[in-house]
Amino acid sequence: MCGAEVLTLPDGVRRVASALQALGHPHAPVMLDNAARTAQQAADAGGCRGPDCQEHYFSP
């Protein structure tokens, strides 16, 4: 993430993205096109496959 991507996100997500970037985290938050009400829906929308995918996603 170069920083430009952070500017298009909502304020709360930008704060989280900035904190993650400052800590050297390799991934940025991803905004889904549609609501994901469960971890499984978020994993499916993000293209994650496999038994451990759900724990890597959450919905607001």
**Between 2 and 43, the higher pLDDT residue:** 43
- CA-to-CA distance for 60 and 58, rounded, in angstroms? 7
**Predicted confidence (pLDDT) at residue 3 exceeds the cutoff of 70:** no
Mean pLDDT of 31-60: 74
Q: What is the pTM of this model?
A: 0.54
Per-residue model confidence (pLDDT) at position 60: 44
> Distance (Å, rounded) from C-alpha 26 to C-alpha 32?
19
Average pLDDT on 45-52 reads 76
Q: What are the extents of the domains in the chain?
A: 5-56
At 5, list the tokens: 């991507």
